[in-house]
Amino acid sequence: KIMASKEKYHTGEPIQFGISTNGKSGYLYIIYVDKKGQVSLLYPNAKAPMTELSGNFVFPRDFGNMTVRASKDCTDCKEDKTTIYALLSKKRIVDIDNITQSNLANFVGDNSSSSEKPKVKTKALKFDDGSKAVDTSNIKVGKVIFSVVD
């Protein structure tokens, strides 16, 4: 589960959000998706390497204690939406860099009219045991959206 501290941030303001593993343990990945669908991995990172974890955390304080500032992708807009995903996997995802916006949307059911999260099989990700076709019921995903204003 991922929770925004605020619904709106001003450009340049430090952002933070809470993450709870809801009593589960696993490997956490925090991912930012920009307006063009480009995906950036926020955690793990050089200051906070991958480790199995469980509990309640605040990003970025508990993940390398870096400062992450709100910014807009657009230059002529007054407000811009920011989307962050948190994935908790029972196994390490060794090629997390291959994840796409479409994969993330499928994991949380963004493309589904059903209120139930779909079980998705994907070959986009490979786990440390070498398996590729993954039943995503082993991956828990949360999403938070907040606005950035001038």
Instruction: Give the model confidence (pLDDT) of 54-88 as tens digits.
Output: 999 999 999 988 899 999 988 888 999 999 999 99
The lowest-confidence range among 6-10, 26-30, 96-100, 135-139 is 135-139
Question: Is the pLDDT score of 130 beyond 80?
Answer: no
The predicted structure's pLDDT at residue 116: 41
Dump pLDDT digits (tens) for 12-50.
999 999 999 999 999 999 999 888 888 999 999 888 899
Is pLDDT of 137 > 50? yes
- pLDDT, residue 112, reads 39
55-64, 91-100, 116-125: which is most confident: 55-64
Structure-token pair, residue 118: 């779909």
Give the pLDDT of residue 102: 82
Q: Is 5 exposed, middle or buried (CB count within 10 Å of its CB: 0-12, 13-18, 19+)?
A: middle
C-alpha count within 13 angstroms, C-beta hemisphere, residue 1: 9
Query: Phi and psi for 98 in degrees, rounded to 5?
Result: -85, -5
The dihedrals phi and psi of 102, each to the nearest 5 degrees, come to: -65, -45
pTM of the model: 0.81
Cβ contact 54:24 at 8 Å: yes
What is the model's pLDDT at position 111?
44
Domain span at residue 96?
Answer: 2-149
User: Before 118, cis peptide (omega within 30)?
Assistant: no
Split into its structural domains, the chain has a count of 1
Whether 96 shows a pLDDT value over 70: the answer reads yes
